[in-house]
């Protein structure tokens, strides 16, 4: 079948030599969970890793003291060497839940090396992406099964699970982008997403900070 080439090359992720250009690969996403069947690295973020991020610090402290340290999210990464023109992939599984009234979220980050865009593809569940630029301008967009969100350079981004099930999404970003968590940890996002009357609502972060 000339002119109709189908590639189906195994990822061989565990043996990938990061100093060379990546090989052709494809990877299947598990239909039920959305998780890639092959990945290089898995990150697990528990409540203790998000100390200082949720507005109700006191509740976080009390939970950890009682030995309650739930998994908030997991990231399944298929990284590439940090060279221009390469993309890394990451599938995040953000659990449903709240700390007080605030829904579970990812830490959120600016890219360390600007300008770097990112694309989020919603695979499962319901939630939103909260964005904030360096001038403090804030925006939010739905992030859910079946939609795609484009994150332009210089916007910090945080995923929030406002649904009852897991929120699963695939991110594609330049492998040299890096993560700047410090700016967000220091200043925080200007808005929080909380449950109000059974529905998600955005409120000013100053109104809940303890
Ligand atoms: C997405 C990508 C990753 C990121 C992950 C979790 O998959 O943006 O780069 O690591 O979400 O987000 P965070 O790093 O902010 O905790
Ligand atoms: Zn990013």
Whether residue 42 has its Cβ less than 6 Å from ligand 1: no
Band (pLDDT 50/70/90 cuts) for residue 208 is low
pTM for the model stands at 0.90
Least Cα distance to 94 among 107, 106, 108, 80 occurs for 106
Q: What is the pLDDT of residue 145?
A: 98
Q: For 169, phi and psi rounded to 5 degrees?
A: -145, 155
Query: At residue 159, does pLDDT exceed 90?
Result: yes
Longest CA–CA span in the chain (Å) reads 65
Quick one: the chain helix, strand, coil %, rounded to 5?
10, 40, 45
Rounded to the nearest angstrom, the distance between the alpha carbon of 170 and the centre of ligand 1 is 10
CB-ligand 1 contact for 109 (6 Å cutoff): yes
Task: Give residue 175's Cα distance to chain centre.
Answer: 15
Please state the rounded mean pLDDT for residues 89-115: 97
What's residue 9's pLDDT? 37
What's the gap in Å between 62 CA and the centre of ligand 1?
26
Q: Does residue 19 register a pLDDT over 90?
A: no
Q: For the segment 27-80, what is each residue's pLDDT rounded down to a tens digit?
A: 999 999 999 999 999 999 999 999 999 999 999 999 999 999 999 999 999 999
Q: How confident is the model at residue 125 (pLDDT cuts 50, 70, 90)?
A: very high
User: What percent of the chain clears pLDDT 90, i.e. is strictly above it?
Assistant: 84
Any atom of ligand 1 within 6 Å of the Cβ of 88? no
Give yes or no for residue 107 CB within 6 A of ligand 1.
yes
Query: CATH topology for 32-207?
Result: Jelly Rolls (2.60.120)
Give the helix ranges, DSSP H, for 19-106: 57-65
pLDDT at 209: 52
Task: Output the average pLDDT for the chain.
Answer: 91
């Amino acid at each position: 079948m000339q002119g109709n080439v189908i590639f189906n090359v195994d990822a061989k992720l565990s043996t990938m030599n990061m100093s060379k250009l990546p090989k052709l690969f494809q990877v299947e996403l598990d239909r039920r969970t959305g998780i890639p069947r092959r990945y290089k690295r898995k990150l697990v973020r528990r409540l203790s890793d998000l100390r200082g991020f949720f507005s109700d610090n006191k509740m976080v402290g009390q939970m950890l003291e009682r030995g309650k340290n739930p998994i908030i999210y997991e990231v399944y990464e298929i990284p590439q060497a940090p060279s221009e023109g390469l993309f890394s992939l990451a599938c995040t599984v953000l659990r449903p839940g709240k700390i007080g009234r605030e829904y579970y979220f990812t830490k959120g980050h600016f890219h360390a090396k600007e300008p770097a865009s990112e694309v989020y593809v919603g695979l499962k569940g319901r939630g939103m992406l909260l964005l904030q630029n360096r001038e403090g301008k804030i925006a939010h967009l739905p992030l859910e099964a079946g939609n795609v969100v484009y994150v332009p350079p210089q916007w910090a981004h945080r995923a929030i699970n406002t649904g009852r099930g897991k929120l699963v999404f695939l991110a594609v970003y330049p492998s040299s982008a890096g993560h700047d968590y410090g700016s967000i940890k220091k200043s925080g996002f200007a808005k929080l997403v909380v449950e109000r009357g059974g529905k998600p609502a955005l409120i000013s972060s100053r109104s809940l900070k303890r």
